Chain A
């Protein structure tokens, strides 16, 4: 009996150990993980030098971790068990009410010195823009993220763990000046019961961006924009975004992505990185078939985007932005003759030189607060 017992345990162990080993060895390596939206590490190339320094060993370990079979299932199992023992956040994602998976920004994520620098850069932006396009055509909008706007959806005490976005917004308002400042915090707060943030992604929704756009247009004196003037086109109903990727949870509820169009007949051309050939349409249908569906708006992250096809009114808008601007700009494209978007991370030219040669009439600085606090590439706004 004793012996039989031992044999069973040994058999279970050997099957698990060798089963997974062999399965791993037989499974071909993947290039890319659609769920995590990242390139996976490949078998490191060998050299004696790397071996002696330990670098090869390190690369090999991250290779086998990345390529482990059923990666997504294992990660899902991990998240499920963490949630089962009552963890309120897993992998930097807080599980809120109504299936909201909210990115957790702690004070430790933010470098105070960088924030000071970026606030100064914000002031410089407003100063220079005033000279170029005038005070009334210069705007700054920092958008608080879901953890701030949807604080009521957070589990109890969670706000005590989070970076104080309100304080940052207050400082930024001082730097930008009352004329340029668009208070996204207040206006999103008025709509917090609506679907203004994705449940499974860190971006705002088209609806959230719309309210901001409406406010901005009226503040700039470009007339009142009404929700009923737009046709709402559904781009996707099964969007599982970045916070889901970080902490894939069984109870996640997929998001809906919309596009707002005043005139569905109208054609827009989007030029990426100064290319001569444009792409037709404000979104990329191909990206909707992939994991990172948000990248569909204006074809994802590009250093420079130019949109043509809007109202021929001689107005040219320049947006210095992060990805929150991608859905926002699809609205602006309809009311401005030209819209330029500049992503500081990939833009190598002089911003103000660019604005001058392209006869920009309006500027907008649009970031979410956390990206603004953590963006190290805003030095492109420093004085030359």
Chain B
């Protein structure tokens, strides 16, 4: 994982800057302005939001907007004239340019480094700084021309509205990846309303709490354990560490998605869900239907199905799955461990498709859960440590193969000091809190005022506590930033 920037420069929602400077200002201006100006306001402030951390790369983003807007325009024109071939050529060019930009800015160091390694040359590394969120907005922008070509969305005639779609600050830097067809109508015809706004608030607060109270807190434990030196970790410490990361990555990312979905709702957009309690899964197939749904959907819609999906026989399907999962892996970062991580899931998914899933279904439920979570957690080792040597060392530590034993005093300290937090995290990653809240609301059906008061006190408490954690903490990274 790219850690150089550690969330100090990017404007992130979960910061005092956004909460008490950016957001109030944008909200006020947005709702005071007449409808016709609102996309312009969103576009402009999204650019500022982006420029806060990457002043120079705004140009790249504007280029991407123009490129895709033009591509959509031309594709639609040729289609209308029934010149399908030409439409195809334009589409292919736009896709290639998009991927080229992504390739240059994200993967050039990786490619050059490995070429040097293979050929013995020493071509200097380009060392381009990765533009924040480029993997997200490139995918998002690309979906537009493709949707238009397939006739799944109308052409957008207003470049401001299209710019607002690509840059929309709530999901600009860490998703969800919103396909154009999902918000096409809302871009120009949305109607903000009180109900959406208040639901958006709730969603935003819950996301803020997930990120600041849960992900950041447990993230510190993971950092602490990594700093101890991976080769000397006893098994218990290594397991606490990887569980800490397992929770950190989920609450970090799901919290961000919640905040994005919530903010979107406040402005009248309805994004699709991005997480559906992934840690409740009973198979890896199910896990990937519940984890980072927007990315899975993107790859399914724009890679897997165009390659033929499951319609061209089993062999071809397995090939298609392999391609999709290798790409999914490398999408997460320009490093071998991410590729390995993608392939790891590719292999498991193929095995599940071929025979494992049928077999699994006969297992008791808790064993199915255990199976899925075990593989997910092992997967996080591949994901969390970019150095493959460290991955090996960490796995060895987890299974007591490094000679450091099962546990030491430090393991017991970490366990006892974080036990309550770990239990809270485990419960919070299931749907139990939601079910409890719903049943409580049901019981209070006839005492509406109590129910309303409870909800608002809860949201206010989460908000105030999050502010307290933000004021105190210097540790506030965003794991999914640099993808």
Q: Which residue numbers of A lie inside 8 Å of B, CB to CB?
A: 1-3, 5-10, 12-13, 16-18, 20-21, 24, 51-54, 57-58, 60-61, 64-65, 68, 71, 74-75, 77-79, 81-82, 85-89, 91, 107-108, 155-161
Q: Does B55 contact A (CB under 8 A)?
A: yes
Most buried by A among B19, B408, B463, B471: B471
Q: B residues 78-108 with Cβ under 8 Å of A?
A: none
Chain A residues near B448: list those with CB within 8 A. 1, 5
Bound-state CA distance A323–B121 (Å) is 55
Which residue from A9, A10, A54, A85 sits with its C-beta under 8 Å from B9? A54
With both beta carbons as reference points, the residue of chain A lying nearest to B418 in the complex is identified as A87
Known: A16-B463, A20-B467, A64-B17. 9 other contacts (CB 8 A): A5-B448, A6-B195, A13-B459, A21-B21, A24-B20, A85-B424, A86-B420, A107-B228, A157-B410
User: Do A74 and B416 touch across chains, with their CB atoms under 8 A apart?
Assistant: no
Bound-state CA distance A287–B385 (Å) is 49
With both beta carbons as reference points, the residue of chain B lying nearest to A52 in the complex is identified as B55
User: Do A87 and B24 touch across chains, with their CB atoms under 8 A apart?
Assistant: no
A152 to B: closest C-beta gap in Å: 15
Q: B residues 50-83 with Cβ under 8 Å of A?
A: 52-56
With both beta carbons as reference points, the residue of chain A lying nearest to B472 in the complex is identified as A78
Q: Does B464 contact A (CB under 8 A)?
A: yes
B457 to A: closest C-beta gap in Å: 9
User: Do A159 and B419 touch across chains, with their CB atoms under 8 A apart?
Assistant: no
User: Do B195 and A157 touch across chains, with their CB atoms under 8 A apart?
Assistant: no
User: Do B194 and A10 touch across chains, with their CB atoms under 8 A apart?
Assistant: yes
User: Do B413 and A158 touch across chains, with their CB atoms under 8 A apart?
Assistant: yes
24 examples of A-B residue contacts, CB within 8 angstroms: A6-B194, A6-B197, A7-B198, A10-B201, A12-B460, A16-B464, A17-B27, A18-B24, A20-B19, A21-B20, A24-B20, A57-B53, A60-B17, A61-B15, A61-B17, A64-B21, A65-B16, A74-B467, A75-B471, A78-B468, A79-B472, A88-B416, A160-B409, A161-B414
8 nearest A-B pairs in the assembled complex, by CB-CB distance: A160-B409, A6-B198, A157-B413, A74-B471, A160-B410, A77-B468, A9-B198, A88-B417
User: Do A12 and B456 touch across chains, with their CB atoms under 8 A apart?
Assistant: yes
Bound-state CA distance A317–B61 (Å) is 68
User: Do A7 and B20 touch across chains, with their CB atoms under 8 A apart?
Assistant: no
Bound-state CA distance A101–B34 (Å) is 57
Tell whether A20 pairs with B20 under 8 Å between CB atoms, given A13-B201, A77-B465. Answer: yes
Q: Does B123 contact A (CB under 8 A)?
A: no
Chain A residues near B11: list those with CB within 8 A. 57
User: Do A86 and B419 touch across chains, with their CB atoms under 8 A apart?
Assistant: yes
Most buried by B among A5, A108, A155: A5
B140 to A: closest C-beta gap in Å: 24
Q: What per-residue 1/0 map shows which CB atoms of B411-435 lie under 8 Å from chain A?
A: 1111011111100100000000000
With both beta carbons as reference points, the residue of chain B lying nearest to A5 in the complex is identified as B452
User: Do A3 and B24 touch across chains, with their CB atoms under 8 A apart?
Assistant: no
A321 to B: closest C-beta gap in Å: 30
Q: Does B227 contact A (CB under 8 A)?
A: yes
Q: Does B23 contact A (CB under 8 A)?
A: yes
Tell whether A9 pairs with B456 under 8 Å between CB atoms, given A58-B9, A60-B17, A65-B471. Answer: yes
Bound-state CA distance A84–B16 (Å) is 24
Tell whether A17 pairs with B23 under 8 Å between CB atoms, given A58-B8, A157-B409. Answer: yes
Q: Does B202 contact A (CB under 8 A)?
A: yes
With both beta carbons as reference points, the residue of chain A lying nearest to B193 in the complex is identified as A6
Tell whether A7 pairs with B194 under 8 Å between CB atoms, given A75-B468, A160-B412. Answer: yes
Number of interface residues of B (CB under 8 A): 58
With both beta carbons as reference points, the residue of chain A lying nearest to B455 in the complex is identified as A9
Chain B residues near A18: list those with CB within 8 A. 24
User: Do B455 and A64 touch across chains, with their CB atoms under 8 A apart?
Assistant: no
Chain A residues near B9: list those with CB within 8 A. 54, 57-58
With both beta carbons as reference points, the residue of chain B lying nearest to A247 in the complex is identified as B472
Q: Does B288 contact A (CB under 8 A)?
A: no
Most buried by B among A13, A85, A160: A13
Chain A residues near B469: list those with CB within 8 A. 78
Chain B residues near A157: list those with CB within 8 A. 409-410, 412-413, 416
User: Do A71 and B197 touch across chains, with their CB atoms under 8 A apart?
Assistant: no
User: Do A2 and B417 touch across chains, with their CB atoms under 8 A apart?
Assistant: no
Chain B residues near A8: list those with CB within 8 A. 452, 456
With both beta carbons as reference points, the residue of chain A lying nearest to B413 in the complex is identified as A157
B113 to A: closest C-beta gap in Å: 26
With both beta carbons as reference points, the residue of chain A lying nearest to B28 in the complex is identified as A18
With both beta carbons as reference points, the residue of chain A lying nearest to B213 in the complex is identified as A81
Which residue from B17, B470, B472 sits with its C-beta under 8 Å from A91? B472
B275 to A: closest C-beta gap in Å: 23
B62 to A: closest C-beta gap in Å: 16
Q: What per-residue 1/0 map shows which CB atoms of B201-237 lie under 8 Å from chain A?
A: 1100100000000000100000000011000000000
With both beta carbons as reference points, the residue of chain B lying nearest to A70 in the complex is identified as B471
With both beta carbons as reference points, the residue of chain B lying nearest to A60 in the complex is identified as B17
Bound-state CA distance A298–B64 (Å) is 64
Q: What per-residue 1/0 map shows which CB atoms of B444-483 lie under 8 Å from chain A?
A: 0000100010011001100111011111110000000000
Bound-state CA distance A82–B473 (Å) is 12
Chain A residues near B195: list those with CB within 8 A. 2-3, 6
A24 to B: closest C-beta gap in Å: 6
Chain A residues near B53: list those with CB within 8 A. 54, 57
A51 to B: closest C-beta gap in Å: 6
User: Do A160 and B459 touch across chains, with their CB atoms under 8 A apart?
Assistant: no
Bound-state CA distance A156–B419 (Å) is 14
A160 to B: closest C-beta gap in Å: 2
A295 to B: closest C-beta gap in Å: 25
User: Do A75 and B472 touch across chains, with their CB atoms under 8 A apart?
Assistant: yes
Chain A residues near B452: list those with CB within 8 A. 5, 8
Which residue from B17, B198, B408, B473 sits with its C-beta under 8 Å from A5? B198
With both beta carbons as reference points, the residue of chain B lying nearest to A154 in the complex is identified as B413
User: Do B418 and A108 touch across chains, with their CB atoms under 8 A apart?
Assistant: no
Bound-state CA distance A87–B416 (Å) is 8
Bound-state CA distance A58–B417 (Å) is 33
A374 to B: closest C-beta gap in Å: 16
With both beta carbons as reference points, the residue of chain A lying nearest to B410 in the complex is identified as A160
User: Do A64 and B20 touch across chains, with their CB atoms under 8 A apart?
Assistant: yes
Which residue from A10, A17, A60 sits with its C-beta under 8 Å from B198? A10
User: Do B227 and A3 touch across chains, with their CB atoms under 8 A apart?
Assistant: no
With both beta carbons as reference points, the residue of chain A lying nearest to B465 in the complex is identified as A81
B77 to A: closest C-beta gap in Å: 38
User: Do B17 and A17 touch across chains, with their CB atoms under 8 A apart?
Assistant: no
Chain A residues near B460: list those with CB within 8 A. 12, 16
With both beta carbons as reference points, the residue of chain B lying nearest to A55 in the complex is identified as B9
Tell whether A159 pairs with B409 under 8 Å between CB atoms, given A3-B194, A86-B419, A108-B228. Answer: yes
